[in-house]
């Protein structure tokens, strides 16, 4: 009975929300007989082939920057300037495919794209455990313009998200800033009252969508550090 159910769901045809191609969800024989819960896949093979996974690429041990093999200069800068030891992981290198994906998802507001990476993020979540998981919130003006919070939507079905940070509206959108301007952007986050209810010995994971200079996650890291937390990790889909 259980096996019939699995075979039936394996035969369903689904379309990739990114390109419209049919998704191949046929299970391998070994998977059918393992009776393990299958993690749904929402990305087609063609889209997946354009991803550059970061795992096992001689990454910076602190931020997952690929092909560095040592602690990168950005991470050393964060340590020297803010006494923050970065502890970041990411899944995919930022490339043209990721760029186009986020353009469709964020700029054109296609909220259905939130689940494209569900399987990858879910697999990562099953290998790591944290007491509290929170996320980088959208600023009020972005939230109003888009009608949804892209980071929240990306992770809400995978983690039990707590809303602990809020973001002030910035003077200039991040996308319009050069690298130096981004690094020099002052703190735009502030803690919500709910943060006070969390015990300081809890491990914290802060989620974001893209890690560029690391500034956004470092500033959110700083809020938790100032509040007395010491076990703080960060994660982004892309880096």
Kindly tell me which residue out of 51, 62, 208, 234 binds Zn ion, with binding defined by CB under 5 A: 62
- Told to check if 220 binds Zn ion by CB under 5 A, we report no
CA distance 237 to 54: 10
- Told to check if 47 binds Zn ion by CB under 5 A, we report yes
- Told to check if 41 binds Zn ion by CB under 5 A, we report no
- Told to check if 63 binds Zn ion by CB under 5 A, we report yes
Report in angstroms how near the CB of residue 84 gets to Zn ion at its nearest: 12
Q: 52, 122, 128: which is closest to 89 by C-alpha?
A: 128
Kindly tell me which residue out of 6, 16, 207, 218 binds Zn ion, with binding defined by CB under 5 A: 16
One-letter-per-residue 3-state SS of 147-180: CCCHHHHHHCCCCCEECCEEECCCCCCHHHCCHH
Take residue 186 and report the two structure tokens written for it.
């002052």
Q: 116, 144, 141: which is closest to 51 by C-alpha?
A: 116
Q: Of the two residues 58 and 131, which places its CB atom closer to Zn ion in the complex?
A: 58
Which residues are within 8 A (CB) of 201 and not within 5 positions of it... i.e. 6 or more apart? 231
DSSP per-residue codes, 85-105? ---EEEEE---HHHHHHHIII
- Told to check if 112 binds Zn ion by CB under 5 A, we report no
Q: Between residue 115 and residue 174, which ones bind Zn ion under the rule CB under 5 A?
A: none
Interface stretch with Zn ion, choices 13-21, 153-161, 162-170, 189-197 (CB under 5 A):
13-21
Report in angstroms how near the CB of residue 73 gets to Zn ion at its nearest: 8
Q: Of the two residues 42 and 159, which places its CB atom closer to Zn ion in the complex?
A: 42
Report in angstroms how near the CB of residue 229 gets to Zn ion at its nearest: 21
Kindly tell me which residue out of 6, 41, 42, 44 binds Zn ion, with binding defined by CB under 5 A: 44
Report in angstroms how near the CB of residue 218 gets to Zn ion at its nearest: 11
Place of tokens 């041990």: 61
Which residues are within 8 A (CB) of 97 and not within 5 positions of it... i.e. 6 or more apart? 47, 50, 51
Q: Of the two residues 137 and 214, which places its CB atom closer to Zn ion in the complex?
A: 214
Which residues are within 8 A (CB) of 172 and not within 5 positions of it... i.e. 6 or more apart? 181
Q: Of the two residues 63 and 198, which places its CB atom closer to Zn ion in the complex?
A: 63
CA distance 111 to 134: 20
Interface stretch with Zn ion, choices 14-22, 135-143, 190-198, 220-228 (CB under 5 A):
14-22
Report in angstroms how near the CB of residue 21 gets to Zn ion at its nearest: 5
Tell how strand 204-210 and strand 132-135 pair up. parallel
Which chain residues interact with Zn ion by CB under 5 A? 16, 18-19, 21, 44, 47, 60, 62-63, 65, 72, 75
């Amino acid at each position: 009975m259980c096996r019939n159910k699995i075979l039936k769901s394996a035969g369903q045809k689904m379309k990739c929300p990114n390109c419209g191609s049919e998704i191949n969800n046929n299970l391998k024989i070994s998977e059918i007989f393992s009776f393990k819960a299958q993690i749904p896949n929402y990305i087609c093979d063609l889209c997946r082939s354009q991803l550059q996974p970061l795992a096992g690429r001689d990454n910076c041990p602190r931020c997952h920057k690929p092909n560095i093999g040592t602690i990168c200069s950005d991470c050393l800068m964060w340590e020297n300037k803010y006494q923050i030891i970065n502890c970041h992981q990411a899944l995919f290198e930022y490339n043209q495919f990721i760029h186009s994906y986020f353009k469709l998802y964020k700029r054109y507001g296609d909220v259905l794209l939130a689940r494209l990476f569900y399987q990858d993020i879910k697999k990562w979540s099953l290998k790591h455990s944290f007491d509290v998981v929170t996320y980088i919130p959208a600023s009020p003006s972005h939230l109003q313009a888009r009608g949804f919070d892209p980071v929240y939507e990306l992770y809400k079905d995978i983690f039990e998200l707590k809303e602990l940070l809020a973001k002030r509206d910035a003077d200039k959108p991040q996308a319009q800033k050069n690298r130096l301007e981004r690094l020099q952007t002052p703190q735009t986050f502030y803690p919500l009252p709910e943060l006070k209810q969390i015990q300081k010995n809890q491990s914290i994971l802060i989620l974001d969508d893209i890690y560029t200079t690391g500034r956004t996650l470092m500033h959110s890291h700083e809020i938790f550090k100032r509040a007395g937390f010491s076990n703080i990790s960060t994660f982004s889909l892309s880096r």
